[in-house]
Amino acid sequence: MRPPLQKQLNILDYGLRSLWQKKGRHLCVFLIFSGVIFLLASFQFMAASLTRTAELLLATVPDITVQQLSAGRQIPLAEESVAHLDSVFGISNMSPRVWGYYFDERNGANYTVIGSSTPAADPLLESLLVSGRYPVAGERAEVVLGSAVISNLDLQERNSFSLFRPDLSRISLQRVGVFRESTNLLTADLIVMSIDDARDLFAMEKHELTDLLIQVGNPTEIPTIAKKIAETIPGSRVITAEQIRKTYEAVFSFRSGFGAVCLLASLAAFVILAFDKALGFSTEDKQEVGILKILGWQTRDIMRLRFYESLATAGCAFGLGVSLAWAHILFFDGGLFRFVFLGWSVLRPSFDIVPFIQGRDILLLFSFSALPYLAATIIPAWRASIVRADSVV
Amino acid sequence: MRPSALLFSLIAVIILVDTLFWAANRYQKKDLETKLSSQQRLVGTFGLTDLALSTEARYTRHPAVTDSVAPFMDHPGSIEHFPSGSFILPVAVVGR
């Protein structure tokens, strides 16, 4: 082995032996540091995985969604205004929809009721049901339910149940299908029924819609057509597929950012602890430096020794923390932090997320954790290395 | 054994474990992506615009298609009171 490299290895060996001699103190720092990195990395990986999942799921979101606003609030869209859109060139398909929320007073849960036209027969769509079928055109009061709705309504094997209209009269419904639990991220709180049944449940007029879903022939024309629609229907709110996808990027990065703010505070506290610990070196430490200097060690060798000690601690803690975070996302679906992303909802369904980890996330984590630790130990290392041998030995 | 050799062995073990996780991730991701892409049909058919993550309020259940004033609609001077609402940004609106 070349002498310079051999010298570095000898310094590293000495540093590691020195760490081992005070293993109680250093192990404690190592474990706390690994824990902080585990928390930070889990948040970062969870946010990236949720963003990726949303990107995959919402790829087929309607090109344009049109709603009606009045006094800053959403109100039903009149069916007549839809006719005005015939003059807008480039629209390939328009689907009216009635939807809203049903608040279950017994348990405080909110269900999402979707009134939609009967879907065309499609084996792929049918395969997303654990049993049954979708509502058939012409048949009234048929619904497909999400798994969380079934458990909250406590339906068990029953197919018939009733919900309340705004005037507290009951509407009887028949369960004809159940969504698979694997689709929970989309369907957990859904009650899908025909448009007429949804109007009946919400006591809406026959000519009223909640919103209008529009497909555009040429995707490059979506922004232009969206502007034309906004001009054609006064007071309308027009949302494009691109805006929906961007919303989801912002939602997750902001959520994880909120978590990261809390975790960075604990990281900052840890760095202060590391700085304080390294600064307060004991008489024994001073004597050690003095003896090393008498034996011929230079100031730079002692600084290098302290740097190797910090690098070994930070590097191993980073490796362990990131590996544990990865396992947490891969094998436990980020169970520890899910509550942050799920909110304080009554319905808390289980769902699958796509684990998604990028090199840039790892670099970011290294910059926010290991680098501050190394920086925090530089000044104490320098102060320790400039001790005069004759003053301590 | 030299302590540095032990350290390098530990680093090698961490790299090996991470490589195994990476392989597991590739396998799991492929499987999940296939499952999720079949659900895209559901999104297209029923016009679903949002993920069922926070069902506590309409503006957290459907952040992409909710009025930006929804959290403050209960009465004049109302403040929003659902914690998950503090994470949700309103969508930009075309032509307004």
* Cβ neighbours around A27 below 10 Å, total: 13
Q: Does A167 share its domain with A259? A: no
Residue A228 inside a domain? The answer is no
Note the pLDDT of residue B92. 58
* Cβ neighbours around A108 below 10 Å, total: 12
ipTM of the complex: 0.81
CB atoms A322 and B11 under 8 Å: no
Segment A60-74, tens digit of pLDDT: 899 999 999 888 788
Q: Does A268 share its domain with A196? A: no
Determine the Cα angle at A262 with ends A257 and A267, to 5°. Answer: 110
Q: Does A351 share its domain with A268? A: yes
Residue A76 inside a domain? The answer is no
CB atoms A346 and B41 under 8 Å: no
CB atoms B7 and A312 under 8 Å: yes
CB atoms B43 and A352 under 8 Å: no
First CA to last CA across chain A, in angstroms?
34
Q: What is the dihedral of CA A150, A155, A158, A160, to 10 degrees?
A: -80
How far apart CA A339 and CA A13 sit, in angstroms, is: 44
Q: Is A27 in CB contact (< 8 Å) with chain B?
A: no
CA distance to A167, A190, B61, per residue, from A180 (Å): 33, 12, 20
Contacts of B88 in chain A (CB under 8 A): 251, 254
Q: Does A251 share its domain with A387? A: yes
How far apart CA B14 and CA A105 sit, in angstroms, is: 51
Q: Is the dihedral of CA A365, A371, A373, A376 positive or negative?
A: negative
How far apart CA A263 and CA A258 sit, in angstroms, is: 9
Contacts of A192 in chain B (CB under 8 A): 46
Determine the Cα angle at A203 with ends B71 and A236, to 5°. Answer: 50
Pick A73's closest partner by Cβ from B36, B73, B93: B73
Residue B78: exposed, middle, or buried by beta-carbon count in 10 A (0-12, 13-18, 19+)?
exposed
Contacts of B18 in chain A (CB under 8 A): 319, 322-323, 326
Q: Taking residues A248-275, what's their average pLDDT?
A: 73
CB atoms A326 and B65 under 8 Å: no
Q: Could you list the residue range(s) of the whole structural domain that residue B93 is in?
A: 49-96
The continuous run of DSSP H or E covering B44 comes out as: helix B3-46
Q: Does B60 share its domain with B92? A: yes
Is residue A191 predicted with pLDDT exceeding 90? yes
Q: Does B28 share its domain with B61? A: no
Q: Does A23 share its domain with A116? A: no
User: Do the Cβ atoms of A324 and A331 come closer than 8 Å?
Assistant: no
Q: Does A44 share its domain with A101? A: no
Note the pLDDT of residue B93. 55
CA A298 to chain centre: 50
Q: Does A106 share its domain with A44? A: no
Note the pLDDT of residue A354. 82
Q: Could you list the residue range(s) of the whole structural domain that residue A24 is in?
A: 3-57+247-392
Helix axis angle for A378-385 and A283-294, nearest 10°, is 60
User: Do the Cβ atoms of B68 and B80 come closer than 8 Å?
Assistant: no
Residue A272 inside a domain? The answer is yes
Residue A169 inside a domain? The answer is yes
Is residue B68 predicted with pLDDT exceeding 50? yes
Q: Does B59 share its domain with B41? A: no
**A172's tokens:** 């009887």
Q: Does A189 share its domain with A251? A: no
Contacts of A45 in chain B (CB under 8 A): none
Q: Is A211 in CB contact (< 8 Å) with chain B?
A: yes
Contacts of B46 in chain A (CB under 8 A): 114, 116, 119, 192
Phi, psi of A148 (to 5 degrees): -70, -30
How far apart CA A268 and CA A13 sit, in angstroms, is: 30
How far apart CA A206 and CA A293 sit, in angstroms, is: 92
CB atoms A125 and B94 under 8 Å: no
* Cβ neighbours around A101 below 10 Å, total: 15
- Total beta-carbon pairs less than 8 A apart between chain A and chain B: 233
CB atoms A189 and B61 under 8 Å: yes
Q: Taking residues A7-33, what's their average pLDDT?
A: 87
Least confident of A142-156, A174-188, A343-357, A373-387: A343-357
Q: Does B40 share its domain with B55? A: no
Residue A38 inside a domain? The answer is yes
User: Do the Cβ atoms of B85 and B76 come closer than 8 Å?
Assistant: no
**B64's tokens:** 């992409």
* Mean pLDDT computed over every residue of chain A: 86
Q: Does A260 share its domain with A382? A: yes
Touching A: B residues 30-89, CB under 8 Å:
32-33, 35-58, 60-67, 69, 73, 82-84, 86-89
Contacts of B93 in chain A (CB under 8 A): 237-239
Work out the pLDDT band at B96, boundaries 50, 70, 90: very low
Note the pLDDT of residue A56. 87
Least confident of A36-40, A346-350, A363-367, B40-44: A346-350
Give the helix, strand, coil percentages of chain B, each rounded to 5.
60, 0, 40
The number of distinct structural domains making up chain B is: 2
Q: Does B59 share its domain with B42? A: no
Q: Does B68 share its domain with B41? A: no
Segment A320-329, tens digit of pLDDT: 999 999 999 9
Segment A206-252, tens digit of pLDDT: 889 999 999 998 999 999 999 999 999 988 989 999 888 888 877 77
Q: Does A178 share its domain with A278? A: no
Residue A288 inside a domain? The answer is yes
Percent of chain A residues topping a pLDDT of 90: 32
Bigger pLDDT: A108 vs A341: A108
The number of distinct structural domains making up chain A is: 2
Is residue B90 predicted with pLDDT exceeding 70? no
Ramachandran area for residue B77 (φ above 0: left; ψ -120 to 50: alpha; else beta): left
**A121's tokens:** 């027969």
Segment A159-173, tens digit of pLDDT: 999 999 999 999 999
**A282's tokens:** 């004991």
Q: Does B40 share its domain with B5? A: yes
DSSP H helical ranges for chain A: 3-21, 23-57, 79-83, 123-126, 147-153, 184-187, 195-202, 222-232, 241-279, 283-294, 299-332, 338-342, 359-368, 370-376, 378-385, 389-392
Residue A52 inside a domain? The answer is yes
